[in-house]
Structure formats: C-alpha cells, structure tokens
Structure 1
Amino acid sequence: MTDNEKPTSSTASQSITKTINGSHHFIIQGYSLAKGMGIGKHIAGDNFTVGGYQWAIYFYPDGKNPEDSSNYVSVFIALASEGTDVRALFELTLVDQSGKGKHKVHSHFERGYKRFFKRQALETSDYLKDDCLRINCTVGVVVSAVDCPRLQHAIKVPESDLGSHFGMLLDNNEGSDVVFNVAGEKFHAHKLVLAARSPVFRSVFFTQDGEKHDEIELTDIEPKVFKVSLL
C-alpha cells in the first residue's frame, strides 16, 4: 500500500419490519339489555397486551354517533396505554355461532367500524345466540429495527505459552543479567523474571544497599534442583 492509498472498510446493516401479533376474545352476554343504553355509549372488554401496549375492545350497541351509525352497532379497538403514534393492523371477527363457520371478518388499518353490522340484521342472524355475541380481535403491532450482523465465528484465543518462552530465555542466556554459581555449575538468569516470581529475589536484587548482585554463589542446593526452580 502506497502513502497515497487509504485503507477502506465495509459495513452492513439490515432494516427489519415485522408485526407482533396477539388476539383477544370478547363475549357480550345480555345483548338485549345493553341495547338502548344510548348512542355513543359503549361496553368495554378487559384490557389485553400486544407489542407492549394495552388494548381494549369497545362495543357500541346503539352506534357510535347519530349521523351515520344510528342503525348499526359499532366496534372499535382502543389504545388503552400511552403511545398514540403506534402503528398496527387490526382484524375484527364476528363469530358465527351456528357452527357453519360463516364468520364476519373486517380487516383494516383503522381502529374500528362505525357501521360494523346493521342492528336489525344482526338480531336475526346466527351471530347472536342466547342473547350473546362473540367478537375475536387480532392486533398486529408494526415494529422496525436495524440489525447489525456480528462475527459468524468466535475468535479462538490460544493458550498461554509464556512459560516456554521463559524457558527458552534460560536455555540460550539471551539478555541474562545475573549468574548463579551452584557447586561450580553456573546458571544465567534474569533479575526481573526472578523478582516477579519470588519476593526473596525481589529483596535481593532491588534493595537500597547499592550492590549489583551480578553473580551469586549458592552452596546449600544441588545444581539439578536449582535448575528446576528457575523454570
């Protein structure tokens, strides 16, 4: 690489958008008693959690407003927790209770329907049984995240071979700065290595007495035993 060439690097990231899905089954028992409670008044189901947010189903037996839904029942999905910027997909299903499986399914981005079902038709349909309605609600909270790929293979750290390196220094005498005379046999060693391994050698080599201790004579140990102690 010349002086004018600069090293380059390459990175990558991936944006992933997906939905976190959850569902809730809402049973409305006593429909005939709820009817007549008034336009704009609703029956609320219990809160349920999807995507970290609380949701609830609101059923309006007399419609949500008089302008365009007074002849219809209205159903809405309310965000019961903070976070008005949540984007989600919704599906509302009015369950066919005859066993024929002809469910009424509404799928849309909006959170409800003012004209969910015409009231007169609902009251003579198979969706109402024993004065009971069943509504299934599915919520898919849209979430986006950026994925940064990591290394596919772990880096293997080799085992330490520091001991063998110290042994090589001892064998070839490279950089040695102290000599031990043991029964006439001389061993070349390194003060820093010995001082790091032994507080006795540390006090001998790095005291304030001013002596250099370049050669030390030992008489109370055999040469082969001393050599092992240096490794």
Structure 2
Amino acid sequence: MKKIKWTDVRLVLMIGLLAFLYSFSSKRNEERKLLKTEVKFAGENMPFVTDEMVNNLLIQNFSSVTTIRKDKVDLNRLERELDDHEMIADAQVYATVDGTLKALVTQKTPIARVSNESSSYYIDYEGNKMPLSDNFSARVPLVFGKINEENRKGLTEVFQKIHDDDFLKKNITGAKILESGSLLMTNRNYDYGILFGKPINVDKKFNNYKAFFQHAMKDTLIGEYKMINLKFTQQVVCTK
C-alpha cells in the first residue's frame, strides 16, 4: 500500500483554500457598488472639459454612481464614449478596489483658431476641427480664411511649429490665408507683416525669421519695417 505523503496533502489543501479565498474575494469585489467618481486631466491645463462634464458622461446611463455594481460597469464602453467627445483626445477609465470609478482624460490641444464668414473653430494638433468652448478660450494664433483638404496638411505643420516653439508662440499672433495660398502673418509687438508664402519649407522659413529678428533687435531697425518676406528660403527681404 502506497504511503500518504502528508506534506503533499497539506500543499493541496493550502492551494484549494487560497483558490477559494481568491474566488470569494473576487466575487465580493465584483458585487460591490461604486462609491464615487474621480477625474484627473493629463497634459496642458486647458479646462475645455470640466470634472462635472466628464462625471456626467461616466454615469449618464445611471441614476447615481452609488447604484452601479462594479461588475456591471463596461469600462471599454465608457472609454469609447469619452473618446468620442469633441474636446477629448484620449481617456482611460478603471475601477479601484475601494469603489472609485476613475477617469484619466487627455484633452485635445488647439494650435490655431480659424474664423471665416461661415464658422469659427479651433484646429487641434492633429489638424482636425475642434469646436470653441464656453469654458475656456485658448491663446493661439487667429487665422482668417478657409482651411480645406488641399491646404490642411501644410497649415497644420505651420501651426504645430508655432505651438512647439517658445519664441514663435509668443511672437506670432495670427495669419490670413491669401487667395494665392500664401500666409500673411501678424506679430505681437511690431506693425510689420510677415509674408510667409505657401506652407512649404516651414522649418527653413521660421529659422530665417528668428535669425532676422535677433539681428534686427540688435541694430534697433525692427520698428521701421512694414513687411518681412520669408518666401525666398535663401534670404529674408525686408521692406520699410
């Protein structure tokens, strides 16, 4: 007759007990009701979307967050609903052990505000339309004219460069899209216009402009200019 190894029996019993406790704990955890929601925002502090707006989206299908059982929450669906919001770029939703429904929200980043006869809206960092907000107004260049599929990619690159560069972000205040497709920009502190030309060779043109600005500040002539022409990438043409 085979001898029973009590160490093996104890091991099997311990594994069974742990499995039972884990299953029991998981079951109780799933059946718990949520106690509250918590919203955090990632990235730049631009309150296009408020905590209240996100909370409403999270619990819009329930009378109250405290009526929701954790195992009944479809986190993927909640994330999709937040992602579909016209001001939100990305959302991550999860429920914690203590009964908190948490959402980490990344808002869209506007890089320009477009104004024309028919509408007014932002262009976000991806080049897509983004509506204006009643909660917050972004400090971005004001663009007059129409953005279409033909010029969208080039213009998005231009305003991305402005957004990402501290000097350009402070200096460039607006732009007009001319019939030729060229851009005529305005600056914050001086009366001259900046004829950027078509949205090509963007890095080279902006580097030329920054070099011109540093030089003009040194010889104090900057206030005398009426137009700074960046169309020619090999030189900057200034008109008084």
TM-score (normalizing by structure 1): 0.25
Structure with greater helix percent: 2
Higher strand content, 1 or 2 = 1
Provide the TM-score with structure 2 as the length reference: 0.24
Q: Which structure is higher in RCO with an 8 Å CA cutoff and minimum separation 6?
A: 1
